[in-house]
Chains A and B, each alone.
Chain A
Amino acid sequence: MSQGDIQLVELVKRYKDVVAVGGIDLHIPPGEFFTMLGPSGCGKTTTLRLIAGFERPDGGAILLDGVDVSRTPAHRRRVNTVFQSYALFPHKSVVDNVGFGLRYQRTTKEEARRRVAEAMALVRLEGYESRRPSQLSGGQQQRVALARALVLEPPVLLLDEPLGALDARLRLDLQVELKRIQEQLGITFVYVTHDQDEALTMSDRVAVMRDGHVEQCAEPRELYEDPSTAFVANFLGASNLIPVGVSPNGSGSRLRLGSFELHADQGAHGLGDACLAMIRPENVRLFAHGETGENRVPGMVEEVVYLGFHHEVRVRLATGTVIKVDVPNDDERDDHEQGDPVSVHLPARHLRILRADEDEADDDADGDDVPPTAPAPQHAGAQAP
């Protein structure tokens, strides 16, 4: 499979005064499972619709296998789309839905029948050929939508939150299935979602988007372990963001947190003095009060929330910052109770230093009950939705 190479060059889309996509540059090599992840309104769906040809870009180019297709109408682009709403044709049976597009590819009747049957088998829908879409469940309808696109053997498949309307259990099953199909066919998948778990489990690479631009584009592991901005750290998983003063120290850096001094393995070149130290709750360790050592900060347990496989413990540090700590329920640790004094260990190799982002506070992911993130000095704990 050498086909299915997508390149977005300086892609811009405006709606009147609102910039939906603000100059995106992306390269998606053939056969990649590429995900655009972001909160609603970040431009991910608009970008997908631009690639599909439903919208016309206001600037930039969309290269499909090296050819600019940004002025080609949707019906002549060799990409196919799976819609969040399924968008099945309610007046046609399942086979007629799946075979719809084959009429526009010069296929013989015999070949069309064979390919429809193959597509039906690929999405495991044999036996439902003569049903109407309204007689299928949501998951089955989504499979029909998938088969309808895949039967055309496109080099690129675009998926716009395809699992958004399904319940959690079915979503997991279909995630596995989508990944299997993508690996089996080896075609490029461009997947849009606001669900971080979906993005992390399925994708080869993820672009985290925000306000019409790409915040960070990397493999899931890098994105999670080494986010380049506070927004990415917050959007993917839970994170503690602690405002600190930074100065370089050999290959690592020295962090000033109130009267305490911490060490981080990561260097902080060109990040300025006021930064955010990021650490995942699962990397923080709690010890008995009084224990000393490198990167230990005293604190007091404020709240303990039982979450099944682990406890989430909220600890207020002596500097006033509240951080979240995941404590596994493996019988080997002491139970923490509200009001307990503890010593918090922030391991140097897990501390990441991020630029303090001025406008971070007013646009956290969904604006729900997430506490303000970066500049708010007293509350540094934050969790992605």
Chain B
Amino acid sequence: MSAATTTRPAPAAVARVSLRERLSNPWGKPRFLALTTWVYIGWSLIPVLLAIRFAFNSGRSRTSLQGWSLRWFTQDPTLSVLHDPTLLQALKHSLVLAVIVMLVATPVGTALALGMRRWTGRGSGVANIMLLLPLVTPELVFAVGMFLLFTTAFGFIGLGTTAQAIGQVTFTLSWVVLIVRGRLVTIGRDVEEAAADLGAPPHEVVRRVLVPLLIPAMAASLLVSFALSIDDFVVSQYLASGSDTTTVPMRIYSQARGGPTPALNALATIMLVVSLLALLLAYFVFKALTRGEKGASAIQQLATVDAGGA
């Protein structure tokens, strides 16, 4: 350090570094990478920000800016989210459905993940892959199949809230299994063996060791399945039975063709905020519950959580 200051390299030498050299400098800041990343982020966010902007429009237009107001949230006596019964009903139904889905999918998915861990024999590998198949199945195909099922074989259930909940739980389970299984891998088998070694029978191993250690993953699962349910359009649409089982995405879709007002943007904004809050909560709950643990388990888990929200 001192040598560098005493010899003081000629400033000309620094200036002579060519542009080409500066761009290809492997030790330099990754400016180009940063630029492309930010361009992409901007590109993907602009439509969302625009939609949000029009939620606060004071005029009726969804295409030209007409000042700021909360008219479409609460102020308008007939058309605002607060005063339009169809919008309010959709919001209520979406939330009810999401709560049902998260409360069912999380425990069932956790149990499934625990079971899959025990099962190591023939067929377990295939089953493991099949379990994750819903993640890549086109939702439309799945929804059409579900529709057929609930109108024929499971006709006694019929279409409606129950069918919607079952349908959403079915594809949400894959995510829960994915999250819980990731956590199980980081927990490792040796704590289970240690608990058994100390005299704990199998159900006690689950109760006193596995479940407490799985709580972060279960919390993450709750919120991810909530966000997935609120976001869902295809399954809810196919399994809906009438106006009282219309969810927010369905309402927005159907009204967009009628007489759309910025109230739809307001509704979408509310949903966006609710899902974002759910994911943020998932992030912080997970972080708080795994604090002090070694390894990158929290980050690993959150990658899954983020993917779930996308």
Contacts and interface: CB of A to CB of B under 8 A. Distances in A.
Partners in one complex: yes
Contacts of B209: 89
Contacts of B213: 89-91
Contacts of A377: none
Given A83-B194, A85-B190, A75 B201 contact: yes
Given A90-B293, A91-B212, A134-B292, A83 B199 contact: no
A105 interface: yes
Contacts of B198: 75, 80, 100-101, 104, 148-149, 152
A383 to B, nearest CB: 33
Nearest to B215: A91
Contacts of A75: 196-202
A348 to B, nearest CB: 51
Interface string B203-214: 010001100110
B199 A104 contact: yes
A88 B187 CA distance: 11
Nearest to B197: A81
A134 B195 contact: no
Interface string B268-307: 0000000000000000000000001110000000000000
Given A91-B212, A104-B199, A152-B199, A81 B293 contact: no
Interface string A116-158: 0000000000000000101100000000000011001000000
Which residue among B188, B193, B202 has the maximum number of chain A CB atoms within 10 Å of its CB? B193
A104 B292 contact: no
Which residue among A52, A79, A100, A149 has the maximum number of chain B CB atoms within 10 Å of its CB? A100
Contacts of A83: 190, 193-194
Contact of B196 (A74, A90, A91): A74
Given A132-B292, A134-B293, A87 B194 contact: yes
B256 interface: no
B191 interface: yes
A85 B193 CA distance: 12
A84 B198 CA distance: 16
B197 to A, nearest CB: 5
Contacts of A91: 212-213
Nearest to B199: A104
Interface residues of A, number: 28
A260 interface: no
Nearest to B290: A90
A306 interface: no
A73 interface: yes
A86 to B, nearest CB: 8
Which residue among A73, A88, A89 has the maximum number of chain B CB atoms within 10 Å of its CB? A89
A135 B291 CA distance: 11
Nearest to A132: B292
B126 to A, nearest CB: 18
A101 B199 contact: yes
Contact of A54 (B193, B200, B212): B193
Contacts of A89: 191, 194-195, 209, 213
Contacts of B292: 90, 132, 134-135
A4 B25 CA distance: 68
Contacts of A101: 198-200
Nearest to B209: A89
Contacts of B294: 134
Contacts of A100: 195, 198, 200, 208
B194 A81 contact: yes
Which residue among B197, B201, B204 has the maximum number of chain A CB atoms within 10 Å of its CB? B197
A152 B197 CA distance: 11
Nearest to A104: B199
Contacts of A88: 191, 194
A74 B201 CA distance: 9
Contacts of A73: 196
Contacts of A81: 193-194, 197
A79 B191 CA distance: 16
Nearest to B213: A91
Contacts of B293: 90, 134
A104 B194 contact: no
A233 B294 CA distance: 41
Nearest to A105: B199
A87 B212 CA distance: 15
Contacts of B208: 100
A85 B188 contact: yes
B215 to A, nearest CB: 8
B19 to A, nearest CB: 50
Nearest to A160: B190
Nearest to A80: B197
A100 B198 CA distance: 7
Nearest to A96: B208
Contacts of B196: 53-54, 73-75
A134 to B, nearest CB: 5
B195 to A, nearest CB: 7
B197 A74 contact: yes
Nearest to A54: B193
Contact of A87 (B193, B200, B204): B193
Nearest to B294: A134
A158 B13 CA distance: 68
Interface string A49-88: 0001110000000000000000001111001110101011
A187 to B, nearest CB: 15
Nearest to B192: A87
A90 B291 CA distance: 10
A26 B33 CA distance: 64
Contacts of B212: 91
Contacts of B193: 52, 54, 74, 81, 83, 87
5 contacts: A52-B197, A90-B213, A100-B200, A101-B200, A104-B204
Interface of A: 52-54, 73-76, 79-81, 83, 85, 87-91, 100-101, 103-105, 132, 134-135, 148-149, 152
Pairs A-B, 4 closest by C-beta atoms = A101-B198, A104-B199, A87-B190, A87-B194
Given A81-B194, A83-B194, 12 more contacts: A52-B193, A74-B193, A75-B200, A75-B202, A81-B197, A88-B194, A91-B212, A101-B198, A104-B199, A104-B200, A132-B292, A149-B197
